[in-house]
């Protein structure tokens, strides 16, 4: 397989541009399920050690079902498959631009949860107009073993999030082990108590928010992703979920810019519009840089040709 690697505000994306599995012509949800069932070794070989790492997100390009889209895309990580990926969408757009495949500065991606439109602002900067996002339940309090009472919002931004404003550690990179443990305990408690998003969907991201360190930002976050790696970027779907919460609570108006810093102090700028259904449509702007082109090789006698499951 041929892949192109990029990072979006510090979070890496590996895009399969040649040699990926043929998943047929069903819906993106159906093709994602088929990949999980019959071709999960592709995900594992690309994302897990020795070729990848827990923080890496993969993207398989495939023919879209909607003719208005440039490509379909299935996102995956170290533990499975994602609904959408904001940083990954920017990484895909910048990768396509790197390949000379972007016309008129607009890229439309068909994902399993809807179409996202990406506007390029030069070769390395892009704005993702995301799927409709919303606050599902506000001020949900859970009792976390060893921690105590934790209150957060459940929101959709293309993935499901539990967003928490208060916690016992500073949002600083040197505290990432404590922040990871705290967030993992929250996620385990949500699963144990069967607290879910709409239609019983798993809340697989936990997002902690605090005051920013850098001038010009509104907030700083720590996002624990499925597979228990933390997002180096400010998380595009997580920032979308945050906008939905702010909008629902009357704390952010349409077109008002929200500047979100990550745990490593990289940055997204974001705002939202209301569509005809009065749904919140977030737009997330960030930078991505291509840093590698590679051909992935496998040897039949390699015991770890499909990755190392730790």
Q: E strands within 28-147?
A: 57-62, 71-76, 106-111, 114-120, 125-129, 134-144
* Rounded Cα distance, 258 and 57, in Å: 25
Q: E strands within 63-100?
A: 71-76
SS3 at position 186: helix
Q: Are strands 114-120 and 205-210 parallel, antiparallel or unpaired?
A: unpaired
Q: Return the exposure string of 164-182: e unless at least 16 CB atoms fall within 10 Å of the residue's CB, then b.
A: beebebebeeebeeebbeb
Give the number of other Cβ atoms within 10 Å of residue 195's Cβ.
15
Active site residues: 85, 235
């Amino acid at each position: 397989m041929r892949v192109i690697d990029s990072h979006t505000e510090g979070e890496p994306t590996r895009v399969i541009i040649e040699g990926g599995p043929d998943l047929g012509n069903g819906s993106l949800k159906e093709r994602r399920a088929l990949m999980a069932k019959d071709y999960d070794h592709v995900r594992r070989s690309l994302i897990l050690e020795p070729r990848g790492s827990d923080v890496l997100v993969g993207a398989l390009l495939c023919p879209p079902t909607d003719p208005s889209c440039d490509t379909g895309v299935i996102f995956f990580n170290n533990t499975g498959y994602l609904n959408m990926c904001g940083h990954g969408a920017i990484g895909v757009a910048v990768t396509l631009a790197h390949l000379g495949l972007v016309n008129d500065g607009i890229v439309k991606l068909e994902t399993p949860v809807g179409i996202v439109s990406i506007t390029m602002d030069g070769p390395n900067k892009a704005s993702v107009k995301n799927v409709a996002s919303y606050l599902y339940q506000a001020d949900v309090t859970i009792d976390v073993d060893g921690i105590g009472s934790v209150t957060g919002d459940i929101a959709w931004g293309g993935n499901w999030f539990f967003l928490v404003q208060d916690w016992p550690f500073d949002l600083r990179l040197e505290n990432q082990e404590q922040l990871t443990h705290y967030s993992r305990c929250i996620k385990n408690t949500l699963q144990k108590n069967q607290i879910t998003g709409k239609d019983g969907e798993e809340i697989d991201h936990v997002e902690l928010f605090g005051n920013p360190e850098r001038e010009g930002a509104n907030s700083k976050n720590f996002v624990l992703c499925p597979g228990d790696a933390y997002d180096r970027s400010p998380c595009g779907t997580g920032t979308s979920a945050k906008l939905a919460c702010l909008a629902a609570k009357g704390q952010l108006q349409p077109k008002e810019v929200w500047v979100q810093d990550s745990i490593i102090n990289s940055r997204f700028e974001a705002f939202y519009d209301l569509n005809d259904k009065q749904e919140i449509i977030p737009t997330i702007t960030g930078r991505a840089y291509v840093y590698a082109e590679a051909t992935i090789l496998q040897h039949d006698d390699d015991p770890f040709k499909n990755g190392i499951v730790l």
